[in-house]
Amino acid sequence: MAMRKPIIAGNWKMYLNVDQSIDLIEEMLDDLDEIQGVDKVVCPSYVSLAPVAEYLEGSSVKLGAQNAHWEEAGAYTGGVSVLMLEDLCQYVILGHSERRQYFNETDELVNRKVRLAIAHNIKPIVCIGENLEQNEAGRTEEVVSTQLRGSLAGLDPGQVPGLVIAYEPVWAIGTGRAATGEGANAVIAMVRRLVGDMYGAEAADAVRIQYGGSVKSSNIAEVLSQPEIDGALVGGASLKADEFVSIVQQAAEIRGSKE
Ligand code: 13P
């Protein structure tokens, strides 16, 4: 079995201006930098990417964007292209449920973004997850499978190990009601099997799959004690330096890979 390096990413969403973003990274950078065996990523808003990138230079903390456009360039007012991100970011969150819900992003659109990001050497963090109604109707597997097949269509199997997938059940996001470790593990095991069906056992074994939804320092241990879960995509708790550092620290203790 592949030794998958855990990855903890903080999604700052539409919070913090430039000064506040710098303050937050300043508060936690020394601590984060010291923690080994875990990939650490922060994802500020677009306007804070360049200043935070400058601040992170020479550290082990990586930078991610929260979205990208599906075209490289064009008359798309307000759009931000992977060409503008590739020199700044190592990661980009794509297909987040908030993008799907409020900006009408479809699997097809997410797929175009995923392919473009890979082509420009930015690692996509591809988000999938069912909403409460779908969950209660017992449709989790169907919904998540459709999203995964659509979002990851047409890749080269060799590209898949570089991807990160985030399983974020919509009912767990920002609600304080995280999925149980076992529940998330079961869905993530299913997602991994599906990656295997699409791209083969080697790709499935190597791809990292995170859980996201109300992750905090008090439940990260439960999440990461599950064998299929390779990390977390953290929203609210990533805006608090001590919380985020504690999450990353625990990830290193529980699952840290030897480097
Ligand atoms: P919360 O951790 O605030 O529930 O958000 C999860 C999320 O959407 C991360 O992308």
Please write the tens of the pLDDT for every residue from 209-252: 999 999 999 999 999 999 999 999 999 999 999 999 999 999 99
Note whether residue 1 is domain-resident.
Answer: no
CA-closest residue to ligand 1 atom 7: 235
Give the largest CA-CA distance in the chain: 48
Query: Pocket of ligand 1, candidates 233, 238, 240: which has the most ligand atoms within 8 Å of its Cβ, to mutate?
Result: 233
Domain-located, residue 196: yes
> Where residue 248 sits, what CATH number does that domain have?
3.20.20.70
Contacts of 135 (CB under 8 A, 6+ apart): 169, 171
Beta partners for 211? 167, 232
What is the band of 257 on the pLDDT scale with cuts at 50, 70, 90?
low
The pLDDT of residue 2 is: 62
Q: Is the pLDDT of residue 258 over 60?
A: no
Cα–Cα distance measured from residue 103 to residue 88, given in angstroms and rounded to the nearest whole number = 24
The CA-based dihedral angle spanning residues 148, 154, 158, 162, taken in that order and rounded to the nearest 10 degrees: -40
Burial class of residue 120 in the structure, from the number of CB atoms within 10 Å of its CB (0-12 exposed, 13-18 middle, 19+ buried): middle
- pLDDT at 55 (0 to 100): 96
pLDDT band at 255 (very low <50, low <70, confident <90, very high): confident
Is 207's pLDDT higher than 90? yes
State which residues form the domain around 120.
Answer: 7-258
Atom of ligand 1 nearest to the CA of 237: 2
**% of the chain surpassing 90 pLDDT:** 97
E-assigned strand segments in 154-257: 164-167, 208-212, 231-234
**Number of domains into which the chain is organized:** 1
2 in a structural domain:
no
> Tokens 């601040």 label which residue?
55
CA dist 217 and 224 (Å) reads 11
pLDDT in tens, 96-155: 999 999 999 999 999 999 999 999 999 999 999 999 999 999 999 999 999 999 999 999
Within 6 A (CB) of ligand 1 lie 11, 96, 168, 173-174, 212-215, 233-237
Question: What confidence category does residue 178 fall into, taking pLDDT thresholds of 50, 70 and 90?
Answer: very high
Q: Tell me what percent of the residues of the chain surpass a pLDDT of 70.
A: 98
Residue 181 lies in a domain: yes
